[in-house]
Chain A
Amino acid sequence: MKFRKSLIALSLTAAVLTGCNQGNVQSSAAADVSSQAVLTTYADIAHATFEDSLTTAKALRVAVKQLLAAPTDANLQAAKDAWTAARVPYQQTEAYRFGNAMVDDWEGRVNAWPLDEGLIDYVASDYGTESDENPFYSANVIANKTLTLGGKTIDATVIDKKLLAETLHEVDDVEANVATGYHAIEFLLWGQDLNGTNPGAGQRPVSDFDTANCTNGSCERRAQYLMAATDLLIDDLQEMVNNWTANGAARQDLFGKGEQGGLATMLTGMGSLAYGELAGERTKLGLMLHDPEEEHDCFSDNTHFSHYYDAKGIKNVYLGKYTRVDGSVVEGASLADLLAAKAPAVDRDMRNKLEVTEAAAQAMVDAAAKGQTFDVLIGENNAQGNQMVQNFVDALASETKAVENAIAVLKLDDIELEGSDSLDNPTAVLAE
């Protein structure tokens, strides 16, 4: 997956020259942009975005506590709204996942997906309960105080952070055994989405949390699970906020790679999220299979926003600008400034592609507002919806080409777009 100077890159270099000849150079200040300052902005935005993720997760905890204290429809809705709001900053952090090993290693604890929800709680009967080779597929921790596997008994009498994080998460080496993070909480708040590719999200009754008038059993343990998973999410987010403070480990890793290595990390994150992860695994796969099981936020039907803010996070990294949840703005020297100084045509192309992607994501957001959520759009007989999703995939692919061009212009050709491991050795980036 190494970048080599492709024909496209060469043709764009030609375009760049044309651009320069036309004297179309951006502001003279841009010429002085230091890579060091660009990296600082990048790290500052990381810190702010993870901090906002933490803040909104704390708001979610308040709402969850309120729900458990007084299980009313209004309080359930308030908790769902808080979860949805918490996704806004978190999804914008995902551009930091690829390229920063520390974020990638941590990510599975907070955003693992897809998950076998039968591990956590009751599921519809046609979900299957017997003869399964993942013995935890329908283990239902909430209903069962002990689980047995391989002759080993798991004591789940107390549902706490330790049980979820250290025992249940990825139990039996099955990655789909997701016990923690946003999607576990999402399932507990919404329940299974049994509407297939028809409109509608999960419809968990609030009485599932009502210990006085409990539906579907084990309401007390369900409440324990929801609380523990929320607390754990906050712990995990706090850890990542700390990693991006002035002396934080992730920030040190970034600067330890040197200027070129750091810039490579930024573009790695942008390109890898845009292409393989977002366009491929989270979008094209579900579209190709017309399968709502492949929908990213499948219980809440929040996938349109999840994708929109993923794309926005990529844009933030490029423009060096992040609008916080309180409306304030973190900004500084950016990749865009660097590119504008060195190759204005490449910069314009990149900005254009980012706008096109945002518009394609906005179209899905608008469709969702009219009831055409992502799982409806990918339905087998929804040609128009399918095309709308395909447009998003195409826009991301095209955006990634622009990333490739940026890499060529900045002479970072030998970086890899996914994972950061080869970047552990800065000479692997610098040598050419």
Chain B
Amino acid sequence: MTHHVTAFLLISSLLISASAMATASTPNTTDFSQPEPGEQYPGGSTSHTKRHDKKAFSHPSANMRFEQTLDFKIGNGIFRKIWVSSPSSTTASDGLGPLYNARSCMRCHVRDGRGHPPEGNYPDDNAVSMFLRLSIPAQNDSQREALASSRVAVIPEPTYGGQLQDFAIQGLPIEGRMHIRYTEQQINLSGGETAQLRTPTYSITDLGFGPLHPDTQLSPRIAPPMIGLGLLEAIPEAAIRANADANDQNNDGISGRANTVWDRVSQQTALGRFGWKAGMPTLDQQNSGAFNGDIGISNALFSAPGGDCTDHQLLCLNAPNGNTPAQDNLEASRVMSQLLLFYSRNLAVPARPDFNKPDVLAGKAVFYRSGCQACHTPSFRTAADAPGAEQRNQLIWPYSDLLLHDMGEGLADNRPEYQANGREWRTPPLWGIGLTKIVNGHSNFLHDGRARSLLEAVLWHGGEAAAAQQAVITMPKQDRANLIRFLESL
């Protein structure tokens, strides 16, 4: 292995020469005979070169100043912290729920990695690390206006709110349980190969607060991996917007759209970057929303102590909360949110030891030839004024454009979120995807974990990606194998 400092120097010199064009993603390569400069380090100089073991997603940015590592560790402590219900003797740790999906961040983002669907419906398994979002279509003009102007993401289900919490503190019923039924279908591939795809159908059992609104929309979501989030935040907005092509004016069949969402700090609309439908503008708001919605912890940006409980859930609203003066009259103080932000911003993307292997490079060529890179944008340069010092001025390789794309009927959740319609999803970053098995012990992919392998995930791509999907179905099987090798090397 070449000494990485050398590579970093190389990257920095590239940065200097290219700083003038910092507002665009970097040009795509056409040479697959050798690796591109820097692609060994997908997170630029934040990338870690530690072992690819089950802790591979839990290391801090490699370029972090030593003084900062204390904050990273404390942030990790908050991330794994197990919350308890109020009142308790530990006022800094209470405030759980009353309704919740998990008692700690780490419980869903196991080892900072990817969630998975339950192995069976209740009581065979529980659905931690995956839940259902809920909403209803706009019921009146004022709701329609709120949605159109991006002041709200969705109209929450009137009784159950924006998501289904399948746990509750003692004395309260749970909201209900997600129930999944899968049906299998076979896909025939070239070279006599086949693949099995399982199509999920979602419903809710054991409703605890009465019937759902008849028009309730469900959207299943697994917990996404935590690596590289600070780098995604550091991509200049103009660079993301430059790839948008809402009306497909270049006629490539791909119409990337930017989501427009509400920023709770600036009190204005902003570009959506985070979440399966790019429904969150900043990492802080993403964290804070999850803190409140998933664990039920009030914080500076989402201050409801009852989390996602609604006016129709009086038991929930009236339960004791954990707001205390010592925590800024919240359950999680501002300092706590800041440490959590610092931690989540600095979970490093692992380096790619196999970046220069012939089959990996061959697979990379297949990836480009099939058109995957049209949405899975290989690389960007991060902004010089990004919020985190570690993330500034880096050449990064997320393989995502952070834009919304129509993925076809097969993947549609039919639940809009801000400007994303029911068939659109944000291109998820691919970095670290090959380590899922090592870190999390499974290979479930896509927003609801329905795919059980990278190949299945590729084959689910429809809509704008239908041509790429067809290419994969019909390509020589060695090409397909190389494509998977490339993905595994990320």
Residue numbers of A with Cβ under 8 A of B are 1-3, 101, 114, 116, 126, 128-135, 149-151, 173-176, 196-197, 271, 275-277, 279-281, 284-285, 288-294, 380, 397, 400, 404, 414, 416-419, 421-422, 424-425, 427-428, 431-432
Complex CA gap A284/B73 in Å reads: 10
- Cβ of A131 and Cβ of B167 under 8 Å apart? yes
B252 within 8 A of A: no
- Which of A134, A281, A424, A425 is close to B74, meaning CB atoms less than 8 Å apart? A281
Q: Mark B156-182 against chain A: 1 for CB-CB distance below 8 A, else 0.
A: 000000000001111000100000000
Q: A131-B174, A276-B72, A397-B70 are in contact. Are A150 and B119 (CB under 8 A)?
A: yes
Which residue from chain A places its CB closest to the CB of B169 in the assembled complex? A131
Collect the chain A residues with CB atoms within 8 Å of residue B370's CB: none
A-B contact pairs, 8 of them (CB 8 A): A280-B70, A281-B73, A285-B78, A288-B336, A292-B89, A421-B50, A422-B49, A428-B4
**A417 pairs with B66, CB closer than 8 A:** yes
Contacts of A131 in B (CB 8 A): 167-170, 174
Return chain A residues, CB-CB under 8 Å to B34.
none
CA distance A292 to B90 in the complex (A): 7
Asked if A289 and B90 sit within 8 Å, CB to CB, the answer is yes
Report how far A32 CA is from B444 CA in the complex, Å: 58
Number of interface residues of B (CB under 8 A): 60
Nearest A residue (CB) for B64: A1
Interface assignment of B407: CB less than 8 Å from any CB of chain A: no
- Do A428 and B49 touch (CB < 8 A)? yes
Contact call A130/B49, Cβ cutoff below 8 A: no
Contact B126 A133 (CB under 8 A): yes
Nearest A-chain residue to B51, judged by Cβ: A421
Q: Which A residues touch B155, using CB under 8 A?
A: none
Judging by beta carbons under 8 Å apart, are A293 and B90 in contact?
A: yes
Contact B50 A277 (CB under 8 A): no
Q: Report which of B1, B78, B120 forms a contact with A151, defined as CB distance below 8 A.
A: B120
B103 within 8 A of A: yes
- A150 and B125 within 8 A (CB): yes
A428 vs B51: C-alpha distance in the bound complex, in angstroms? Answer: 14
User: Is the beta-carbon distance between B76 and A293 smaller than 8 angstroms?
Assistant: no
Whether A288 pairs with B74 at a CB distance below 8 angstroms is yes
Measured CA separation A134–B82 after assembly (Å): 10
Q: B126 contacts which chain A residues (CB < 8 A)?
A: 133, 135
Partner of B5, one of A101, A280, A431: A431
Instruction: Give B58 Cβ to nearest chain A Cβ, in Å.
Output: 10
Hey, what's the 0/1 contact readout for B18-58 against A, CB within 8 Å counting as 1?
Answer: 00000000000000000000000000000001110000000
Within the complex, which residue of B3, B4, B66, B167 is in contact with A3, where a contact is CB–CB below 8 Å?
B66
Highest count of chain A CB atoms <10 Å: which of B51, B64, B100 = B51
B107 touches A174 (CB 8 A): yes
Closest to A290 in B: B92
With both beta carbons as reference points, the residue of chain B lying nearest to A422 in the complex is identified as B49
- Distance in angstroms between the alpha carbons of A1 and B3 in the assembled complex: 16
List, in ascending order, chain B residues with CB within 8 A of A416's CB: 62
Interface flag for B356 (CB, 8 Å): no
Q: Are B62 and A1 in contact (CB under 8 A)?
A: yes
Q: Roughly how many angstroms separate A131 CA and B59 CA in the complex, as a whole number?
A: 32
Given A131-B170, A133-B101, A421-B50, A2:B69 Cβ within 8 A: no
Contact (A196, B70) CB under 8 Å given A133-B126, A175-B80, A422-B50: no
Query: How far apart are the CA atoms of A137 and B167 in the complex, in Å?
Result: 14
Q: 8 shortest A-B CB distances, which residue pairs?
A: A280-B73, A196-B89, A289-B92, A421-B50, A285-B77, A151-B124, A276-B73, A150-B125
Which residues in B have their C-beta under 8 angstroms from that of A134?
A: 103, 107, 128
**In the bound complex, CA of A428 to CA of B5 (Å):** 9
In the bound complex, residues from chain B placing their C-beta under 8 Å from that of A101 are: 51
Question: Is there contact, CB below 8 Å, between A276 and B50?
Answer: no
CB closest residue in chain A, given B84: A128
Distance in angstroms between the alpha carbons of A228 and B5 in the assembled complex: 48
Kindly list chain A residues whose C-beta atoms are within 8 Å of the C-beta of B67.
397
How many angstroms from the CA of A126 to the CA of B6 in the assembled complex? 56
Selected from A3, A149, A291, the residue in CB contact (under 8 A) with B125 is: A149
Most B CB contacts (10 A, CB to CB) among A2, A424, A432 go to A2
Provide the residues of chain B in CB contact with A428, threshold 8 Å.
Answer: 1, 3-4, 49
For window 371-412 of chain B, which residues contact chain A by CB distance below 8 Å? Answer: none
Contact residue among B5, B74, B440 (Cβ-Cβ distance under 8 Å from A432):
B5
Among residues of B, the one whose C-beta sits closest to the C-beta of A419 is B50
Evaluate contact between B170 and A128: CB separation under 8 angstroms.
yes
Q: Which residue of A lies closest to B94 (CB)?
A: A291
Does B110 have its Cβ within 8 Å of any Cβ on chain A? Answer: yes
Given A128-B169, A133-B100, A292-B90; 8 other pairs, CB 8 A cutoff = A1-B66, A116-B82, A131-B170, A133-B107, A279-B70, A285-B77, A428-B1, A431-B3
Inter-chain CA distance A431–B60, complex, in Å, is 22
Q: Is the beta-carbon distance between A418 and B69 smaller than 8 angstroms?
A: yes
A284 in contact with B70 (CB, 8 Å)? yes
Is the CB of B102 closer than 8 A to any CB of chain A?
A: yes
Q: Which of A173, A275, A404, A431 has the most CB of B within 10 A?
A: A173
Bound together, the chains give a CA A419 to CA B72 distance in angstroms of: 15
Does B329 sit within 8 A of A, measured CB to CB? no
A-side contacts of B199, CB under 8 Å:
none
Q: How far is the CB of B263 from chain A (nearest CB, A)?
A: 28
A3 proximity list for chain B (CB < 8 A) = 66
Q: Which residues of A contact B84 (CB under 8 A)?
A: 128
Q: Are B77 and A281 in contact (CB under 8 A)?
A: yes
